[in-house]
Structure 1
């Protein structure tokens, strides 16, 4: 899963180690036949150390939704089968769709020079809208840069005890962009690929400049209300998740002991339009299905959105979506964009024709060390292969 830059993965500790529960609960809702293989995949995810899973699948068997694990540490009860959660970088797909609607209206072009629209930032004049959407601008990632040789250039604080203590701080989008511009670029625009949250905050500022409305207003007016996404919100600086939801956690060491903090409530302005939205598995399904069915942007732009930038390599990154070929033995080409913020992650997958989809929320105990990345990734892979590689 794409985390803040090139850092991948989930970090969690088994719930049995934290509160002594005996076994994860499993709740099931939906239509169609029972799906024991999906129940087993959710249980395996919890056994791997994730505290909770919400899963929604659409395929030839119909719609199925379920959950496993715990809604909240220290209390009985599984996560709600369609609770709200922070979707992290899945927000980028929403943001890209919003920008492409403006492109479709000829209010801005994919190859327009960004500096002409946002002259106050002194951006490199080689950077275009397309480069922002496909991560080839070279802009420093404000959450930090991780290099192949193992070196790191820190960004804003988003982990550790320091972040836990300051998690209600407000960042303004322009502040995040100016911070990124105070650092050397990763490369010259258009010469390489690097996942950078900065790109999508600049896209937000472009949307606001071109439309004359706030990002949240445009998202609601153009996407959320037309699609009836009543449980999807752009929270801005609000720390709340309204409605039913599972809890997220962060763990750090203090004086030789492990401290686990509930970080469900946090000010998401630190990640802004690169990852701040809240949604449900049902709303994610409705959005992704409408997008890929051509209901949000014209087919020509949708084709460009699905075209991977060659320099992105295995990521297969297009314009706000990733394109993954699972091969003939599975489901062929699958479109996706996953994401995570502290203690919460979201999965969103669909075949090209929308006949097979998966949406999921995962909650866990995060830490700076990424202590269970391997088991967590294995559990996510099992969820994926159970749905997309049923043979």
Structure 2
């Protein structure tokens, strides 16, 4: 990784999980002069089977609107049918500085979709009899979780995975440093703050829950979380473009669109593609593609990753609040969302500086994922992205 000077932009805001924003100063200088007009390039589509030009493709139209109307630099989508055939879409520009095209099915930082991977590993350990969902956290991490109104003897593994523990969200309190964070550093930061509520009292999104889930995986297996994800999920189901970045790795390995950040409405866009993602860890560090995410959620619902008993537990949900939208319900690291055509789909979604991902799969074998190259603050734009997912799954 080349040496870079970093600067913070504003204070952390409470996004999906309170994700922080930081940008490299060099990138800010290089990209900050880009005009707003650069955000409305001709949209393009790439497809395994190209859309029938005699009939407008509603998914492509949705991506085009995200670029032209919502002013996003780029949008990518992958739609998988029940027969396994996949159609790939792109719109916008992959690099505003050079005008390069959006890479077909390019890699992006998938943020909190990582939580579903972490939950799967924990539930596999449950199926192996090594972890109990209703055991206290102290059973596996004795004495580690203590604070003001916080006691690991009274918080269960299930409450971690379902976001009902009341633990404060560490990422809300991250400071100005953009650097490598050890998971224990992040936990120490969270435990400096008072519990949000008593365990099991209600639901609230906190990255600290998945930080602890990841630490439990490492304690039980004796191996790094990244290795467990790789051998238990990524390799078995053939996710060839998904990986957990190594410590200090700020790059994205394969072809990818650049990720951008806007400080305020109408402000120039800043390139934030390269950043140390370690602060996300078990809650948000993975890199993947739309198609790999479709493969993952399809395999999960099909029972390829979990025994039936653990998959049933995973899909047992409670009502959610922001940021998942109307009708969403949270299971154990997975979210169900209603479809306009009836039924629900299962996924998670993720938000990370420079990127936003939305999507999931249905029980009937259809899957869709959409990625855009900005972390979204605007609720209207977030709903527009969700609408593209709904369109793809209801076709």
TM-score (norm 1): 0.84
**Alignment equivalent of 1:101, drawn from 124, 142, 145:** 124
In structure 2, the residue matched to 1:90 is 113
Preserved CA contact (<8 Å) 1:3 1:341? no
**Alignment equivalent of 2:207, drawn from 181, 197, 201:** 197
- 1-structure distance, mates of 2:195, 2:82: 47
User: How big is the shift at 1:18?
Assistant: 2.9
In structure 1, the residue matched to 2:16 is 4
User: How big is the shift at 1:228?
Assistant: 1.6
User: How big is the shift at 1:22?
Assistant: 5.5
Corresponding residue SS for 1:78: coil
TM-score (norm 2): 0.83
> Against the structure 1 CA distance between its residues 263 and 119, is the aligned structure 2 distance closer, same or farther, given a 3 Å change threshold?
same
Spell out, residue by residue over 1:96-135, the C-alpha distance to the aligned partner (whole angstroms, 9 max, x if none): 0011011100011111111121124144111011000000
Corresponding residue SS for 1:227: coil
In structure 2, the residue matched to 1:381 is 386
Preserved CA contact (<8 Å) 2:39 2:92? no
> Against the structure 1 CA distance between its residues 65 and 311, is the aligned structure 2 distance closer, same or farther, given a 3 Å change threshold?
closer
**Alignment equivalent of 1:245, drawn from 242, 249, 256:** 256
Gaps of 5+ in 1: 8-14, 145-154
In structure 2, the residue matched to 1:321 is 334
- 2-structure distance, mates of 1:266, 1:277: 13
> Against the structure 1 CA distance between its residues 115 and 60, is the aligned structure 2 distance closer, same or farther, given a 3 Å change threshold?
closer
> Against the structure 1 CA distance between its residues 182 and 16, is the aligned structure 2 distance closer, same or farther, given a 3 Å change threshold?
closer
Corresponding residue SS for 1:233: coil
- 1-structure distance, mates of 2:106, 2:98: 17
Spell out, residue by residue over 1:38-66, the C-alpha distance to the aligned partner (whole angstroms, 9 max, x if none): 21111001111111111011236942111
How many pairs does the alignment contain? 355
Are 1:58 and 2:80 an aligned pair?
yes
- 1-structure distance, mates of 2:51, 2:267: 43
Corresponding residue SS for 1:360: strand
- 1-structure distance, mates of 2:315, 2:39: 44
- 2-structure distance, mates of 1:22, 1:195: 34
- 2-structure distance, mates of 1:337, 1:298: 20
User: How big is the shift at 1:334?
Assistant: 1.4
Are 1:344 and 2:362 an aligned pair?
no
Preserved CA contact (<8 Å) 1:3 1:89? no
User: How big is the shift at 1:336?
Assistant: 1.8
Gaps of 5+ in 2: 1-13, 20-32
> Against the structure 1 CA distance between its residues 284 and 275, is the aligned structure 2 distance closer, same or farther, given a 3 Å change threshold?
same
Higher relative contact order (CA 8 A, sep 6+): 1
User: How big is the shift at 1:17?
Assistant: 4.4
Task: Give the root-mean-square deviation of aligned CA atoms.
Answer: 2.6
Preserved CA contact (<8 Å) 1:339 1:347? yes
- 2-structure distance, mates of 1:181, 1:21: 42
Are 1:40 and 2:61 an aligned pair?
yes
**Alignment equivalent of 2:42, drawn from 4, 24, 28:** 24
Spell out, residue by residue over 1:122-173, the C-alpha distance to the aligned partner (whole angstroms, 9 max, x if none): 44111011000000111000122xxxxxxxxxx113xxxx4xxx43x11110
In structure 2, the residue matched to 1:223 is 233
**Alignment equivalent of 2:167, drawn from 129, 135, 139:** 139
Are 1:80 and 2:103 an aligned pair?
yes
- Tell me whether 188-197 or 378-387 shows the greater mean CA deviation: 378-387
Spell out, residue by residue over 1:152-206, the C-alpha distance to the aligned partner (whole angstroms, 9 max, x if none): xxx113xxxx4xxx43x11110111111111000001111111100000100000
Preserved CA contact (<8 Å) 2:47 2:88? yes
Corresponding residue SS for 2:41: coil
> Against the structure 1 CA distance between its residues 292 and 228, is the aligned structure 2 distance closer, same or farther, given a 3 Å change threshold?
same
Preserved CA contact (<8 Å) 2:34 2:268? no
